[in-house]
A and B are shown apart, each in its own frame.
Chain A
Amino acid sequence: MGMSSPEALLICEHCDTVYRRRTLARGDVARCARCEAELERHHALSVNAMLALILTAMIVFVQANMWPIVTLGLSGQQSSTTLWGMILAMWREQAQVVSVLVAATLFFFPLLKMLMLGWLLWFARAGRRAPGFVRLMVILHYLGPWTMSEVFVLGALVAIVKAHTYFDVMPDPGIYAYAALTLLITIFAGVDLRQLWDDVPEGTA
Chain B
Amino acid sequence: MSALPRASELGLIACTVCGLVCRNVPGDARLDGDGVGDDMACPRCGTTLHRRKPDSYVRTWALLIAAFILYIPANVLPIMRTASLNDVDDNTIISGVVELWRAGSPNLAIIVFTASIVVPMLKFLALGTLLVSSQRGSGWARVQRAKLYRLVELIGYWSMLDVFVVALLTALVRFSVLSLVEPLPGVIFFGLTVVLTMLASMSFDPRLIWDGKDTDD
Contacts and interface: CB of A to CB of B under 8 A. Distances in A.
A74 B178 contact: yes
A137 B45 contact: yes
A189 to B, nearest CB: 10
Contact of B206 (A14, A90, A145): A14
Nearest to B166: A98
Contact of B161 (A90, A94, A145, A155): A155
A158 B111 contact: yes
Contact of B171 (A7, A35, A81): A81
B179 interface: yes
B173 A163 contact: yes
B29 interface: no
A34 B19 contact: no
Contacts of A18: 5-7, 10, 12, 21
Contacts of A138: 17-18, 45-47
Interface in B1-17: 1, 4-8, 10, 12, 14, 16-17
Given A35-B142, A138-B46, A98 B167 contact: yes
16 contacts: A11-B19, A15-B206, A16-B207, A80-B172, A90-B167, A90-B183, A98-B163, A102-B167, A146-B157, A148-B157, A155-B163, A156-B168, A161-B104, A162-B99, A167-B173, A197-B45
B191 A98 contact: yes
B199 to A, nearest CB: 10
Interface string A73-87: 011010111000111
Interface stretch (B32-40, B59-67, B124-132, B146-154): B146-154
B93 to A, nearest CB: 12
A162 B100 CA distance: 7
A105 B149 CA distance: 23
B158 interface: yes
Interface of B: 1, 4-8, 10, 12, 14, 16-23, 44-47, 96, 99-100, 103-105, 108, 111-112, 115, 142-143, 146-147, 149-150, 153, 156-158, 160-175, 178-179, 182-183, 187-188, 191-192, 195, 198, 202, 206-207, 209-210, 217
A6 interface: yes
By size class, the interface of chain A is 35 or more
A72 interface: yes
Interface in A23-66: 33-37
Contact of A37 (B1, B150, B156): B150
Nearest to B149: A14
Contact of B6 (A16, A33, A93): A16
Contact of B168 (A10, A35, A155): A155
Given A102-B167, A155-B160, A166-B179, 17 more contacts: A11-B12, A11-B21, A13-B19, A13-B206, A17-B5, A18-B10, A81-B168, A86-B168, A98-B166, A137-B18, A145-B153, A145-B198, A154-B115, A155-B164, A155-B168, A156-B164, A162-B169
Given A1-B5, A16-B210, A194 B18 contact: yes
A107 interface: no
B111 A154 contact: yes
B211 to A, nearest CB: 8
